[in-house]
Amino acid sequence: KVKKDKMTILVLGLNNSGKSTIVNHFKKSSEQVAIMVPTVGFLVEQFYTNNVSINAIDMSGATRYRNLWEHQFKNCQGIMYVIDSSDRMRFVVVKDELELVLQHPDVSNRTVPILFYGNKSDLEDSLSNVKIAAALGLEKIKEKPWHICSSNAISGEGLDEGVQWLVQQIR
């Protein structure tokens, strides 16, 4: 097992799902000084703190960079998959992108825990976790631990609960 203090977490999701807001929350709540790395192309955010590296990647529009960021799968110990729970129009895209992740050899051959954030749960037309899980077919993920958590990245609600689950799986 990987030690908690040597951890790389990959934050994936479509643009506008809330990745930067989530990463900023963890930056603020971290007592250590975060070292920022300039972002390039597909990379939304990257920072190191407490020996934890958090890399956030925009999956939408990043198709041409896919081979550049997919190599990060083999180095990560956990995945955060951020979903805009009010963006029903793009659930199909979210599902397709998730399938590509799950089928990738560096993910499918390892037991990487996946935390889903049903983000923007404060919005009126947001879908419940149960409905998101059904829409994305999460019950089909049998080989790895996964968990879905409602979040409001702006208020921070749900974020710590989710990351605690993820860290427990890695520890």
Which residues make up the interface to ligand GDP (CB under 6 A)? 13, 15-21, 44, 119-120, 122-123, 152-154
Surface-to-core class of residue 65, CB atoms within 10 Å of its CB (0-12 exposed, 13-18 middle, 19+ buried): middle
122 annotated among ligand-binding-site residues: yes
Q: What is the DSSP string of 21-73?
A: HHHHHHHHH-SSPPEE----TTEEEEEEETTEEEEEEE-TT-GGGHHHHGGGG
Separation between Cα atoms, residue 89 and residue 35, nearest integer Å: 36
User: Which residue number, 51 or 63, has a Cβ lying nearer to ligand GDP?
Assistant: 63
- Quote the least distance from Cβ 90 to ligand GDP, whole Å: 12
In whole angstroms, the minimum distance from the beta carbon of 154 to ligand GDP comes to 5
Q: Which is nearer to ligand GDP, 77 or 152 (CB)?
A: 152
Determine if residue 85 is labeled as part of a ligand binding site: no
Please, what is the minimum distance in Å from the beta carbon of residue 105 to ligand GDP?
26
**Closer CB to ligand GDP, residue 2 or residue 93?**
93
Short-list 153, 171, 169, 165, CA closest to 26: 153
Smallest distance from ligand GDP to CB 44, Å = 5
Give the residue with the Cβ less far from ligand GDP, 20 or 169. Answer: 20
Q: 163: closest CA among 65, 29, 15?
A: 29
Is residue 156 marked as binding?
no
**Annotated binding-site positions for GTP:** 13-20, 61, 119-122
**Annotated binding-site positions for Mg(2+):** 20, 39
